[in-house]
Amino acid sequence: MQMIGFIGLGNMGRPMASNLCRKGFELLVYDINPQPVAALCDLGARRTSSVAEIAKTCDILITMLPNSADVEQVVLGSEGLLPNSRRGQLILDMSTIDPAVTDRIAARAAEQGVAVVDAPVGRLATHAERGESLFMVGAADADLERVLPLLKAMGTTIHHCGGVGTGGRTKLVNNYFCVVSCQMNAEALALAQRLGLDLEKTLTVLNGTTAYNGQLQLNWPNKVLKGDTSPGFTIDLAHKDLSLIVASANHNKVPLPVGTAAREFFSLARTGKHGQSDFSAILDVLCDLAGIEKPRLKA
């Protein structure tokens, strides 16, 4: 069996790595936070104190990190994966990052005979816990076959979007809809609240027309509308993704006026110290600014 290295055990990485352990994969894990490392070791993983050791020891090197800079440092830094790699290894990056960084990493890796697959994750941390993640995969066919058993152990839905880099680009389009729909939902429900409408009846109408969206029907009733703003996908991460999306659109000469406006409101939410709240809490931020009582579903 191939040895798997897993770097990044945050809200998404820890449950995903846990599912790999439970399904019999041999893991060497690394994170700057010792708590999730200890939790993985309880499931049978082995810990390491360095990224370089993962590169020297493992066959498939998984990264699940917060941003482009972290991925670039972990993969290309002097103590990172590529400087310590060998031919025939494969880097599986599941982070949501700037596609240009993915392109640079893939080009450098190809020079060293190392394959790269980008497979950012759809759905939420609760899905990751249950092994029900969705993956948007950019990979050569042979490389996809190599990582398929890992993806199937962590998720239920796998979309092969094209060559390396297409997974991350698809994720940006997906997250554009997710985050901007949160902004629109917040504005609509704040308006409904100001107009004195019944929340349950309003949701029944919205979910029965073309105003329907997944955030409003599936995510919000389990998060902000029941008063739970504990982080699944944070406002900080939503702002980060919107920044990537707007930058990519600017680079490719695609105007995104709605996305740009939403990004600025998420930026405002972060200055109010809401950055680590769930991104559905953008509703509460808007209501606070407008002096409106926060909408909540009846118990």
pLDDT over 80 (residue 1): no
- Residue 51, Cβ neighbours under 10 Å: how many? 22
What is the predicted pLDDT for the residue at 299?
80
125 pLDDT tier (thresholds 50, 70, 90):
confident
What is the predicted pLDDT for the residue at 272?
83
Q: In this predicted model, what pLDDT tens digit does every residue of 47-75 receive, in sequence order? A: 999 999 999 999 999 999 999 999 999 99
Residue pair 26/3 in contact (Cβ under 8 Å)? The answer is yes
pLDDT over 90 (residue 124): no
Going by DSSP bridges, is the β-strand pair 115-118/121-122 parallel, antiparallel, or unpaired?
unpaired
What is the predicted pLDDT for the residue at 232?
85
Whole-number Å distance between alpha carbons of 294 and 280? 12
What is the predicted pLDDT for the residue at 79?
94
Residues comprising the chain, all counted: 299
* Catalytic hit among 23, 152, 171, 201: 171
Whole-number Å distance between alpha carbons of 42 and 50? 19
Percent of the chain scoring above 90 in pLDDT: 94
273 pLDDT tier (thresholds 50, 70, 90):
confident
pLDDT over 90 (residue 158): yes
28 pLDDT tier (thresholds 50, 70, 90):
very high
Residue 171 annotated in active site: yes
Q: In this predicted model, what pLDDT tens digit does every residue of 234-266 receive, in sequence order? A: 999 999 999 999 999 999 999 999 999 999 999
What is the predicted pLDDT for the residue at 73?
97
Whole-number Å distance between alpha carbons of 281 and 1? 43
Which whole number is the average pLDDT over 276-283? 96
What is the predicted pLDDT for the residue at 145?
98
What is the predicted pLDDT for the residue at 38?
97
CA distances from 169 to 70, 101, 111, 192, 259 (A): 18, 11, 23, 35, 16
Q: In this predicted model, what pLDDT tens digit does every residue of 180-191 receive, in sequence order? A: 999 999 999 999
**What's the burial of 158, exposed, middle or buried (CB within 10 Å: 0-12/13-18/19+)?**
middle
Q: Which domains does the chain have, with CATH numbers?
A: 3-164 (3.40.50.720), 169-290 (1.10.1040.10)
What is the predicted pLDDT for the residue at 297?
96
123 pLDDT tier (thresholds 50, 70, 90):
confident
Closest CA to 62 of 104, 12, 99, 110: 12
126 pLDDT tier (thresholds 50, 70, 90):
confident
Residue pair 115/140 in contact (Cβ under 8 Å)? The answer is yes
